[in-house]
Structure 1
Amino acid sequence: MTAAHRSDTFFAHHLAATPVIGIFRGQDPTTTVELCHRAWDFGVDLVEIPVQSPAALPSLRAAVEAARARGKHVGAGTVTSAERVRAVVDIGAAFTVAPGLHPEVIEASAQAGLPHLPGVATATDIAAALAMGHTWLKAFPARQLGSDWITAQLAPFPDARFVATGGISADNAAAFLSAGCAAVAVGSALADPAALPQLRKAVSPVR
């Protein structure tokens, strides 16, 4: 089994029951852990903590430690270099996510044995990712791309499994899932208790 196939199998398995990745950016460690627990209570299995700077590493570390006690998986997002892969491996991240298609990150994640979710925003990106063996892809920035973009890209690339990321809320999650996304990545909808019922309704038809 190739590293890309292992990545696809990982995301397919952990997003099957609840097609949602929780993504919590820019929060202190205590708040990050609180949000993780809220996501896990909702039924989310995968949580992403973006590490766009070293200042975010303590929050990733806290989330990873909290996840161990609940049998959940916390990954690192905004992983844009092999150096950053090594940093999150040391902390114990379970997977990596990138905003774009970064061959060096794909290779470093594979060498570390971490599933990787590469970002795509064009047909060229999708074709390149598929050629590398990755079918689970982060559609970013999803709100700007629009749900119609998902439907349009699935026509020539039916094997793609898009995770809509960027500006996804309880208000538009259903539209992206209906358009053909395999999952959505959300932050504010999981952070706001008032939005949880709407998010639950959005994801229920595909559960």
Structure 2
Amino acid sequence: MPTFDEILGDRPIMAILRGVPPAEAVTLAEAVWDTGIGAVEVPIQTPEALDALAAVARAGAARGEVVGAGTVIAPEQVALAKAAGAVYTVAPGLDLDVLRTSVAAGLPHLPGVGSASEVQQAMRAGCRWLKAFPAGSLGASWLRDIRGPFPDALLVATGGVTAANAAEFRSAGARCLGIGNALTRPGGLAEIMAALT
């Protein structure tokens, strides 16, 4: 089973391809991979999204890239994600049943956290990489503050991250930025890249 140190360790961006048709999702994923600084997640809220995940996973495998399944909020979604080619799972919240099911399937899991209690519970369950969600509502100062009592937490700021606030989240301690709409719209990837340089 790969680790998030390997998947995200030196990549400051996780592109979230929510609601993107398969062919477009592959094009966007390849553009992200071409930058050398991005990982890719495809949320699987609909059957069509599973098709997009499968297409992106096939494209990734051809390039030696791995793809994650996002919005995994029920244990039964883990098998669907794995069958579509996902190598890791991501959730908006902390569900220990989803975490256990994912790890048992050989897929590392990135749980969402939005409070000190959730960070503590996730870390006790063995997670060092955590999705700070919704980051736009929590604010960059939340990331900075939460790292005080939890200095070993590796935070992926997700939800409301844009080119305008990306640098602020990074300076507050986000190891990676989960970016959806701000990246998938025309010109979005270039704007994010410019904000991080």
Q: 1:53 is matched with which residue? A: 46
State whether residues 18 and 203 of structure 1, in contact with CA within 8 Å, keep that contact through their aligned partners in structure 2: no
Q: 2:171 aligns with which of 171, 178, 185?
A: 178
Q: 1:157 is matched with which residue? A: 150
Stretches of structure 2 lacking an aligned partner (at least 5 in a row)? none
Structure 1 residue 19 and structure 2 residue 15: aligned? no
Q: 2:131 is matched with which residue? A: 138
TM-score (norm 2): 0.93
- CA offsets, 1:65-108, max 9 Å, x none? 11111111111000011100011111111100011001111111
Q: 1:121 is matched with which residue? A: 114
Q: 1:44 to 1:193 in 2, by over 3 A?
A: farther
State whether residues 130 and 155 of structure 2, in contact with CA within 8 Å, keep that contact through their aligned partners in structure 1: yes
Shift of 1:135: 1.1
State whether residues 14 and 45 of structure 1, in contact with CA within 8 Å, keep that contact through their aligned partners in structure 2: no
Shift of 1:45: 4.5
Q: Distance in 2 between matches of 1:62 and 1:80?
A: 22
Judging by fraction of residues, say which structure has more helix. 1
State whether residues 78 and 102 of structure 2, in contact with CA within 8 Å, keep that contact through their aligned partners in structure 1: yes
Q: 2:60 is matched with which residue? A: 67
Q: 2:79 is matched with which residue? A: 86
Stretches of structure 1 lacking an aligned partner (at least 5 in a row)? 1-5
Shift of 1:198: 4.1
Shift of 1:201: 4.0
Q: 1:147 to 1:94 in 2, by over 3 A?
A: same
Give identity over the alignment, percent: 45
State whether residues 139 and 162 of structure 1, in contact with CA within 8 Å, keep that contact through their aligned partners in structure 2: yes
Higher relative contact order (CA 8 A, sep 6+): 1
- Residue identity opposite 2:104 in structure 1: Q
Q: Distance in 2 between matches of 1:80 and 1:71?
A: 27
Q: How many residues align?
A: 197
Q: 1:90 to 1:144 in 2, by over 3 A?
A: same
Moved more, 43-52 or 108-117: 43-52
